Amino acid sequence: MNTHHLSEEALQQAAMEQPEAGSVREAHLEGCSSCRAAVAEYRAIFGALKTMEKPVFDFDVAQLVLEQLPQPQPAVRRFPWPAVLTGAAAVMGFAVPLLVLGRFLSSLFSGIPAMMLALIGVTAAGILLFLCRETVLNYREKMRLLNFY
């Protein structure tokens, strides 16, 4: 009596694949009625699944969707007011404090060489630009995902 049987995975494979003549699996199946029965059960299930009735919507999907689709229209180039206003607000956000606190700032940096000040300014501006770019890219990606899903 054969005490070693095919694994569940091998049984499933045997049920899904064409028999390979001369393979160890086929040789085992030839001599083992228990595994042959298990393969037959899987084959029956897979066959039944394939011919099982498929679900269908009880409405005309194409008609439902096509009614909602916008008609293609020529692209209209609009003036980018939101971007301009945001830019203006950002400039004001820097300019106003600079005007108000200008004399305090000049006394604050009076002892520092011009070269050093320029270096600090360029570095700070670079970091700021980099952070702005990252924020915009993150925002765009999140909006894309929100619109998509």
Residues that bind other proteins (CB under 8 A): 8-9, 12, 37, 40-57, 59, 61-62, 64-66, 68-69, 71-72, 147-149
Pick the closer one to other proteins by CB: 81 or 149: 149
Output the smallest distance, CB 59 to other proteins, in A.
6
In the complex, the smallest distance separating the C-beta of residue 114 from other proteins, rounded to whole angstroms, is 50
- On the CB side of 11, how many CA atoms lie within 13 Å of its CA? 19
Measure the CA–CA gap between 24 and 22, rounded to whole angstroms: 7
Q: Which residues, including other chains, have CB under 8 Å from residue 26's CB and lie 6 or more apart? A: 14, 19, 20
In the complex, minimum distance from the CB of residue 110 to other proteins, in angstroms, rounded to a whole number: 55
Name which of 61 and 115 has its Cβ closer to other proteins. Answer: 61
30 within 8 A of 2, measured Cβ to Cβ: no
Give the nearer residue to other proteins in terms of CB position, either 56 or 89.
Answer: 56
Q: How far apart are CA 6 and CA 24, in angstroms?
A: 10
Q: How far apart are CA 35 and CA 10, in angstroms?
A: 10
Of 4 and 50, the one with the shorter C-beta distance to other proteins is 50
